[in-house]
Amino acid sequence: MRALQAGYPRFVLHPATERLFQVAQSLLAENGTRVVVFPSKESAQRAQRFVEKRTGSASRIASFEGLQALIVSEDDYSVAMEYWRYTGEVVSSRQAEHILSGKDSNNHNPVSLRKRLARLGNYRPEKVFIYENGMAAMYSIYRAANKLLPGRKTLQLEFPYVDAMRVQRHLGNGVVYLNEAVGESLDEALSRIAKGEFSAVFCEAPSNPLMRTVDIPRVSRACRDGGVPFVIDDTICSTANVRVDQYADVVVSSLTKWISGKGDVMAGQITICNKSPFLNDLMEFYGIDCPDGSRLYASDARILARNISGFSSRMKKCNDTAELVADFLKAHPAIENVWYPKFTTPDTYEAIRREGGGYGGLISFVLKNRKKTPRFYDALRISKGPSLGTEFSLACPYTMLAHYDEMEWVEGCGLDKYLIRISIGVEDADDLLTRVAEALKLA
């Protein structure tokens, strides 16, 4: 950790954003206080309420270069940064660079970008809303659900991305978590949903990193019966491979991943589904929460618009190569288990798979000899990193990376401590297979 110079921008401040914080600190902080800069007054106020609820301490907000600075005590700084991380309501590095250099980003009309994103999923452009990143989008629908149905817990089906669970745990009324949504456990959950017990039901389709897909049609029917919003995150395989809007009220997507594909911009998308009984209420909420349909900084929006052009061909290549790699791993004698939509809950995945869609580019697996995992990982000639969906392949020891402070709990949920996750890129398929095979010789 001492050697770490950069990391995923919600977890580790980008150098430009850190410099922006330092400038704000020098201008606004008093003895014993720290400054966290947020992109809007509303996000700063939400962060302030979060900090004060957690700590009981007073804080204040000040304007800073068109942004909003939350000023907290030194002791409360880590809590304020938890809000930054969990919710994704962050200042992007491009915005920080422009403010520090005195540049004007110029305005960006989101109409064209919304239309292009809508076409990818055959959505209505006016029902597409663009956020700072996937977690900011996720947090927005969590807030919307708690406003529609206040005082109730949410329900999380299957093991989710780490901060999706933390938002539900720490920023509202709590969460009921069903680790394996099958059999009698699912039946009981469906009964509770149909009785209207929850403010919303959340799931990923498929889940990360275990690639499990719940029985989405059944969950959707229960949500309709109970008057409960159903929120589905389609990030892992992307809208190129799965279609869930006929079952969901809201679809959440991290545009940072496959749709951008470059690893050089963060963005998130909310899509309100045409058949949702909450359509009018949600459109009203997002009309206020996401003015003009986008909260993405103008320069980030332009980069995203540039990157989208390669999405379809990129996803097709990643689908084809990942299937070859997954088949290879499945048959390899050194591999104990492979998690991939083709093998993991295939029937429920097929229920949402688009016509002509594949299985996505993400694969998780464990070696039979766990002790050899470090040697395999070090020898694997693939870029190492925590994200996914880039044109270059990425590998990471997912459980250790994402859940290092709760290892015992996640292992009880079925995540092996030594799980390796690979996001397949657009490199030559034979070359990638050779690289994986070479590293496996050590296992």
- pLDDT tens track for 28-63: 999 899 999 999 999 999 999 999 999 999 999 999
Tokens 């004007």 belong to residue: 104
Residue 6 lies inside a defined structural domain of this protein? no
Give the residue-averaged pLDDT of 74-87: 96
The arithmetic mean of pLDDT across residues 115-135, rounded, is 97
Pair 88, 173 in one domain: no
Cα dihedral sign for 335, 341, 342, 347? positive
The CATH code of the domain that includes 134 is: 3.40.640.10
As a residue count, the chain comes to 443
Domain boundary among 101, 120, 149: 101
Q: What range defines the domain where residue 224 resides?
A: 111-308
Output the average pLDDT for the chain: 96
Same domain, 339 and 389: yes
Mean pLDDT along residues 340-344: 98
Nearest in space to 312 (alpha carbons), one of 251, 236, 258 = 258
Preceding peptide of 206 cis, ω within 30°: yes
Pair 187, 70 in one domain: no
3 state SS of 442: coil
The mean per-residue pLDDT over the stretch 173-198 comes to: 96
Pick the last residue of a domain from 308, 326, 343: 308
- Tens of pLDDT, residue by residue over 363-402, are 999 999 999 999 999 999 999 988 999 999 999 999 998 8
Name 269's Cβ contacts closer than 8 Å, sequence gap at least 6: 117, 128, 129, 130, 131, 137, 251, 252, 253, 254, 255
Q: Do strands 250-254 and 420-423 pair parallel, antiparallel, or not at all (unpaired)? A: unpaired
Cα-based distances in Å from 359 to 206, 239, 250, 327: 10, 11, 22, 12
Helix (H) or strand (E) holding 220: helix 216-226
- Sheet of 362-367: strand order equals 335-339, 362-367, 420-423, 394-396, 383-384
pTM for the full predicted model: 0.95
Main-chain dihedrals φ then ψ at residue 230, nearest 5 degrees: -110, 120
Residue 70 lies in a domain: yes
| pLDDT value, residue 105 | 67
What pLDDT does 46 receive?
Answer: 98
pLDDT tens track for 6-25: 788 888 899 999 999 999 99
pLDDT computed for residue 3 by the predictor: 81
**What average pLDDT score do residues 319-323 get?**
98
Return all residues near 28 (Cβ < 8 A) that are at least 6 apart: 35, 62, 64, 69, 71
Whether residue 4 is contained in a domain is answered as no
Pair (403, 370) in one structural domain: yes
Asked if residue 8 is part of any domain, the answer here is no
CA distances for 219 relative to 213, 222, 244, 391, angstroms? 11, 5, 12, 34
Residue 9 in any domain: the answer is no
316 and 382 share a domain?
Answer: yes
Same domain, 33 and 177: no
Specify the pLDDT at position 427.
97
Angle at 418 between CA 374 and CA 322, to 5 degrees: 90
Percent of the chain with pLDDT strictly greater than 90: 92
Same domain (yes/no): 41, 121: no
- Cβ(252)–Cβ(134) under 8 Å? yes
Q: For residue 189, tell me if it sits in a domain.
A: yes
Is there a contact between 321 and 354 (Cβ–Cβ < 8 Å)?
A: no
32/122 same-domain check:
no
From 89, 101, 88, 55, select the one nearest 74 (Cα to Cα): 55
**pLDDT at residue 417, rounded to an integer:** 96
Judge if 304 and 287 occupy the same domain.
Answer: yes
Backbone angles phi, psi at 396, to 5 degrees: -155, 150
What's the total number of domains in the chain? 3
| Count of other CB atoms within 10 angstroms of residue 392 | 15
The per-residue pLDDT for 5 is 78
Residue 8: count other Cβ atoms within 10 Å of its Cβ.
Answer: 15
203 with 159, same domain? Answer: yes
Burial label, 204 (beta-carbon count in 10 A; 0-12, 13-18, 19+): buried
- Confidence bin at 339 (pLDDT 50/70/90): very high
Rounded mean pLDDT of 138-154?
A: 97
Report the C-alpha gap between 330 and 170 in whole angstroms.
38
What's phi and psi for 369, nearest 5 deg? -95, 95
Question: Has residue 267 been placed in a domain?
Answer: yes
Does any domain span residue 208?
yes
CATH of the domain at 386: 3.90.1150.10
Residue at which a domain ends, from 308, 337, 364:
308
Residues 80 and 116 reside in one and the same domain: no
Q: Are residues 303 and 351 in the same domain?
A: no
Domain CATH number, residue 81: 3.30.70
